[in-house]
């Protein structure tokens, strides 16, 4: 089914937000590099790579449906918080924002009767549960580790084991 202009626009905007997410995660990763928390830096870098994949899913959906592909301006990321807890709180808050965006897209696809978009968005609805969970779990662990350097370093090591480049 041909994609309505309003749906094309919303999908292009979300593609922009996923690319922006990659940029935000890379900024958070760079902050961890600066704090010598290499494992956390790695985890955030891999997370950023996944965001690029999310952006490409939107790109492919638009391309497959012969829709117009348009690119959004991506702002410079905000200065990253200067504590590991602050960094992961920022990641968690960002994921909650993205979840809200995905839910708004679902509402829009319902309103404009776009079953293909709805089917496509199902994956993202589930993915966001995972995205919120993984960032929230790290926030909780960092809260528990507060002031305990060896617990922090152990968590850093553990997060550095995440697979990816």
Q: Which residue, 91 or 152, is less far from Fe ion as judged by CB?
A: 91
Q: Which residue, 69 or 144, is less far from Fe ion as judged by CB?
A: 69
Q: Of 131, 135, 138, 155, which one interacts with Fe ion (CB under 5 A)? A: 131
Residue whose CB is nearest to Fe ion in the complex, by number: 54
Q: How many residues appear in the chain?
A: 165
By the 8 A CB rule, do 52 and 2 touch?
Answer: no
Q: Which residue, 114 or 131, is less far from Fe ion as judged by CB?
A: 131
Torsion angle defined by CA atoms of residues 11, 12, 18 and 19, in that order, rounded to the nearest 10 degrees = 170
Least distance (Å) between residue 58 CB and Fe ion: 10
Buried b (16+ CB within 10 A) or exposed e, 39-48: bbbbbbbbbb
Contact set for Fe ion, span 31-70 (CB under 5 A)? 51, 54
Q: Which residue, 11 or 152, is less far from Fe ion as judged by CB?
A: 11
Q: Which residues contact 101 (CB under 8 A, 6 or more apart)?
A: 14, 17
Contact set for Fe ion, span 72-111 (CB under 5 A)? none
Closest by CA position to 28, among listed 105, 135, 121: 135
Least distance (Å) between residue 19 CB and Fe ion: 10
Interaction site with Fe ion (CB under 5 A)? 18, 51, 54, 131
């Amino acid at each position: 089914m041909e994609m309505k202009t309003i749906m094309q626009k919303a999908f292009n905007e979300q593609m922009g937000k996923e690319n922006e997410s990659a940029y935000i995660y890379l900024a958070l990763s760079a902050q961890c590099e600066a704090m010598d928390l290499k494992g956390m830096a790695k985890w955030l870098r891999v997370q950023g790579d996944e965001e690029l994949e999310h952006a490409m899913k939107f790109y492919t959906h638009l391309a497959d449906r012969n829709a117009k592909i348009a690119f959004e301006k991506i702002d410079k990321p905000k200065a990253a918080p200067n504590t590991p807890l602050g960094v992961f709180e920022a990641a968690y808050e960002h994921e909650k924002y993205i979840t809200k965006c995905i839910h708004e897209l679902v509402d829009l696809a319902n309103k404009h009767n776009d079953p293909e978009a709805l089917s496509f968005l199902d994956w993202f609805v589930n993915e966001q549960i995972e995205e919120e969970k993984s960032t929230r779990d790290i926030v909780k662990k960092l809260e528990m580790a507060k002031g305990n350097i060896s617990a922090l370093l152990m968590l850093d090591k553990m997060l550095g084991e995440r697979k990816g480049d």
